[in-house]
Amino acid sequence: MPPPSSATAGQVIKCKAAVAWEAGKPLVIEEIEVAPPQKMEVRLRILFTSLCHTDVYFWEAKAQDSVFPRIFGHEAAGIVESVGEGVTELVPGDHVLPVFTGECGECAHCKSEESNMCTLLRINTERGVMINDGKSRFSINGKPIYHFIGTSTFSEYTVVHVGCLAKINPLAPLDKVCVLSCGISTGLGAMLNVAKPKKGSSVAIFGLGAVGLGAAEGARLAGASRIIGIDLNPSRFEEAKKFGVTEFVNPKDYTKPIQEVIAEMTDGGVDRSVECTGNINAMISAFECVHDGWGVAVLVGVPHKDSEFKTHPVNFLNERTLKGTFFGNYKPRTDLPGVVEMYMNKELEVEKFITHEVPFAEINKAFELMLKGEGLRCIIKME
């Protein structure tokens, strides 16, 4: 497919978008207007997007406020259509992955080798406008439609801050690598960048959704010998074998705490654990199931805002380590192109994460699948 023409640069583009008019109601395909990119912004054509649980969570808006009408979507791949003032890193025709967090390159976090939590562009679920001028780039009949976490990929065209776009290998198939812009990379990075299991080690993963299986893929790549999957849904166990998970534990099958079960299975505890559910009890179990002396637990899941983590301080004194991570400690612009190369070099297997595909007109079907807990990732084809 030829790159989109920049003949449209500087002009308003009319295109289709899936608009969420109110919480929990099916999205409606509408014709919208997308304004040109302003300073440090990029307008891109989305070719493929996929549905992540975060979209569903904020669309349902049961646990938090969400602004409407809004265009959701953040796991995607596209091609740059035009760039705003000051953008030098990207040109029309570049292939990019939009990311819900960013990398301005200037703040203390971006300058630190240890952090990826950009001060300017880190995720903000409440903001429905662009940072530059506090306005939306989407409208219908002059009325603004709000953005979602800086990406809004459920639209044929979207406007994103340049710091939230990873420029990738133009040979990478966008219908596959689009899923690397959020959940899978979060799990993969939590394992490879934060837990860092040694070859031959034992690993426990709490939650076998796409993020947890991304962590399993990381453990497989690291050469872990035992990968124990913990989930309340036994139907996930068969699928997880494809990701290198060797053993399965369903907490419902036991009366004693799951950390005790895992300690018995592993002669004192696993070397590494990664928690991907956000359930506070699972987080505590993930920490308490690692081996004393060297065990490391990594928290990935986002807990309820009122949750409190309670454990005995002796667990720390016995040389267990607890860590947290955001987006797998990947800096979006610097590191994501390398994750795409892992796929291109046939190290990272992405196809097995993609279980469904729907055309854009049937985007609500992707929501239905996720609400039923069916499959891992559903690709939404914009064409």
Walk me through the domains of the chain, giving residue ranges and CATH numbers: 1-20+89-167 (3.90.180.10), 184-328 (3.40.50.720)
Tell me, what's the pLDDT at 63? 67
Q: Nearest-CA neighbor of 177 among 358, 379, 381, 350?
A: 350
CA-based torsion, 349, 185, 66, 48: positive or negative: negative
* C-alpha span between 287 and 311 (Å, rounded): 9
Structure tokens given for 334:
């610097």
* C-alpha span between 292 and 276 (Å, rounded): 22
* C-alpha span between 58 and 54 (Å, rounded): 6
Peptide bond into 337 cis (omega under 30): no
Angle between the 53-60 and 363-372 helix axes, to the nearest 10 degrees?
A: 90
Partners of 17 in the β-ladder = 30, 155
Q: Are 116 and 330 in contact (CB under 8 A)?
A: yes
Tell me, what's the pLDDT at 61? 86
**DSSP code of 8?**
G
Catalytic positions? 52-54, 74-75, 104, 107, 110, 118, 122, 182, 377
- Name the helix (H) or strand (E) containing 23: none
pTM of the model: 0.95
Tell me, what's the pLDDT at 220? 98
Tell me, what's the pLDDT at 33? 98
- Name the helix (H) or strand (E) containing 144: strand 143-145
Q: Nearest-CA neighbor of 53 among 71, 86, 70, 75?
A: 75
Mean pLDDT, 10 residues at a time, over the chain (383 residues)? 65 98 97 98 98 92 84 98 97 98 98 97 95 97 97 98 98 98 97 98 97 98 98 94 97 98 98 97 98 98 92 98 98 98 97 97 97 93 93
* C-alpha span between 269 and 260 (Å, rounded): 8
* C-alpha span between 195 and 217 (Å, rounded): 13
* C-alpha span between 116 and 285 (Å, rounded): 27
